[in-house]
Amino acid sequence: MKIVVCVKQTPSTTAVFSVNGGKVSWDDPGGKPLVVNPWDEYAVEAAIQLQEEHGGDAIALSMGTEESLEALKTCLAMGCTEAILVNDGAFRDADTLGTARVLAAAIEKMGDVQIAFFGKQAIDGDTGNTPVQVAVKLGWTPLTFVSAIKEIDAGGGTITVERQVSGGKETVTAPLPVVISVVKEINEPRYPSFMGIRKANRATIPSWTAADIGLDASAAASRVDWSRVYPLPARDASVEMISGDSPQEIAKKLVDRLFEEKVL
């Protein structure tokens, strides 16, 4: 079974960004390292578990610059068998649709892929659009918000999953190939092993351009204009310490002040 897991390198959740000249300073994440998108870690673990159970390959795929090689090395250290970077200067400002075109073309180039895993969203854009857009481009069934892989029937060419839906869960069976986006309830991502890290550091990760995957560079051009980005206005705050001879007196003073400020 050939499984692809699509990952994105994102800023750390603790990164602090600034807005300069109407642009977000993405290249300066407040001194914090770039990381594998946290939601994608669950997708990587799901791909590795299926590879361990059913055999075959779990291939990590990322669209990005050479910096994204670190994210792919993390995937290799966790247990992915291969990693591929799609890197072209024309992709730098791609929106979700452009990204979907690129990833779908790369998956098609690999051939014989049965499952493409994604995290439910990326923490920088937070749209959650890319998995479904990739499924549409490939003509595959999208299975979103998947919390468990119930069964894979290799003979019948189907997969059964459990999805989180509003107010509960549902079980769905779909024909392979499929695109799956997962939620954190699906597993607990493993830590990269020491041997895995050593192996990943020695690995040669191929880099594909737009031409390599049969795309015109303009296919990933952004349709989104981020030219009007404004920093949040500064907030003035003050602290008032309330004292008293007993907790009851302090509580009464606090309630009185909350009424005065029309909080209550």
Condensed to tens digits (0 to 9), the pLDDT of residues 66-117 reads 989 999 999 999 999 999 999 998 887 788 999 999 999 999 999 999 999 9
Whole-number pLDDT of residue 93: 78
- Domain-located, residue 247: no
Helix (H, G, I), strand (E, B) or coil at 54: helix
Q: Report pLDDT for 90.
A: 82
244 occurs within a structural domain: no
Band of pLDDT at residue 143, cut at 50, 70 and 90: very high
One-character DSSP codes across 151-188: EEETTTTEEEEEEEETTEEEEEEEESSEEEEE-GGG--
Question: What pLDDT does 202 receive?
Answer: 93
Name, in order, each residue with C-beta under 8 angstroms of 263's C-beta and a sequence gap of 6 or more: none
Residue 1 has pLDDT above 80, yes or no: yes
> In this predicted model, what pLDDT tens digit does every residue of 35-58 receive, in sequence order?
899 999 999 999 999 999 999 999
Domain that holds residue 77: 2-220
Task: Specify if 256 maps to a domain.
Answer: no
Residue 258, domain member (yes or no): no
Whether 24 has a pLDDT exceeding 70, the answer reads no
Domain count, the chain: 1
Look up residue 220 and give its DSSP letter.
G
CA–CA separation, 112 vs 35, rounded Å?
29
pLDDT of residue 124: 83
Q: Distance between CA atoms of 158 and 43, rounded to whole angstroms?
A: 19
Which residue type sits at 3? I
* Predicted TM-score of the model (pTM): 0.81
Sign for the CA dihedral angle at 140, 180, 149, 108 comes to positive
What is the percent of the chain where pLDDT is above 90?
A: 69
- Residue 26, domain member (yes or no): yes
The reply to whether 264 falls in a domain is no
CA-CA distance, 175 to 143, in Å (whole number)?
11
226 in a domain, yes or no? no
Q: What residues form DSSP beta bridges with 24?
A: 19
Cis peptide before 206 (omega within 30 of 0): no
In which band, very low, low, confident or very high, does the pLDDT at 168 lie, cut at 50, 70 and 90?
A: very high
Asked if the model's pLDDT at residue 10 lies above 70, the reply is: yes
Q: Does any domain span residue 263?
A: no
**CATH code of residue 131:** 3.40.50.620
Mean pLDDT rounded to a whole number for the chain? 89
Q: Which residue has the higher pLDDT, 77 or 27?
A: 77
Helix or strand run (H / E) with residue 96: helix 96-110
